[in-house]
Amino acid sequence: MDGRIDILTLFPEMFDVFNYSIIGRAREKGILNINTVNIREYTKDKHKKVDDYPYGGGAGMVMSVQPIVDCIRAVKKLNKGRIIFLGPKGKTFNQKMAKELSKERELVFLCGHYEGIDERAYKYIDMEVSLGDFVLTGGESACIPIVDSICRMIPGVLKSEQSYEDESFYNGLLEYPQYTRPEYFESERVPEVLLSGHHENIRKWRRLQSILITMEKRPDILKKTKLSKEDMKLLNNYIENNI
């Protein structure tokens, strides 16, 4: 994706986080174009209200359809990308989805709030995404990690593809252990293989560690990952030498 991301929200200031670190530098270089749009600017209510009580009663307030739809229509004049709503009924976000969305040139994220949005707004939404099976105070809290995850896989954002291809979940497994100086800290030393300079042995060690860590911490992921013949050989050798 070398286009733009627009985030429709009631709280644009929450996205100041994208002014810093890796994402901030990528924006300064023109690699990323992330914009926030305040939904309140599109309400026709003289008091700038964007919510109301739900018909039929019930606790809480619901975001009104008019400001949401008018905001979407305005943004679509500049951004032709899919409208993605951050809501609890959506498909759970994962690394596979992040990779797919990072290939899009343009995307629009709609952040819900309060008790949700008027049902009539859904026909303007192309996709609903959830961060997980838990409740947040608003879509903004879900949108930040999702946009961050997508953006970091856009070419040029990180220094090299290797930076994200070795990370947890990218290739189906958790990431291997990482070490840096000093070589010795208290009673622990960096694993000898990492000091050997033998790149093939280091690669095999890291792959084995990813398998073992995933087996220990997330066996559910390992069940869904197809291990190669080399993976099985590494694992069997490890088991044989540690019985």
Per-residue pLDDT of the chain (243 residues; tens, 9 = 90+): 457 999 999 999 999 999 999 999 999 999 999 999 999 999 999 999 999 999 999 889 999 999 999 999 999 999 999 999 999 899 999 999 999 999 999 999 999 988 899 999 999 999 999 999 998 999 999 999 999 999 999 999 998 654 555 555 557 789 899 999 999 999 999 999 999 999 999 999 999 999 999 999 999 999 989 999 999 999 999 999 997
- Residues comprising the binding site for S-adenosyl-L-methionine? 112, 131-136
Domain covering 166-241 in this structure, CATH number: 1.10.1270.20
Numbers of helices and strands, H then E, in the chain: 8, 9
Query: Which pLDDT belongs to residue 59?
Result: 86
**Spans of all domains in the chain:** 4-151, 166-241
Are domains 4-151 and 166-241 of this chain identical in fold?
A: no
Amino acid at 17: V
Shortest CA distance to 42 belongs to which of 77, 87, 81, 3? 77
SS (H, E, C) 176-242: CCCCCCCCEECCEECCHHHHCCCHHHHHHHHHHHHHHHHHHHCHHHHHCCCCCHHHHHHHHHHHHHC
Eight-state DSSP code of residue 151: H
Shortest CA distance to 114 belongs to which of 36, 48, 55, 51? 51
DSSP string, 103-117: T-SEEEEEE-BTT-B
Measured from the Cβ of residue 212, the count of other Cβ atoms closer than 10 Å reads: 18
Q: What class is the 4-151 domain?
A: alpha beta
Query: Which pLDDT belongs to residue 186?
Result: 96
* Residue carrying the six token digits 């990482």: 178
82-130 pLDDT, tens digit each: 999 999 899 999 999 999 999 999 999 999 988 899 999 999 999 999 9
- Residues comprising the binding site? 112, 131-136
* Residue carrying the six token digits 């609903």: 128
Q: Which residues, in sequence order, are CB contacts of 152 under 8 Å at separation 6+?
A: 22, 23, 158, 164
Nearest-angstrom CA–CA distance, 173 and 133: 22
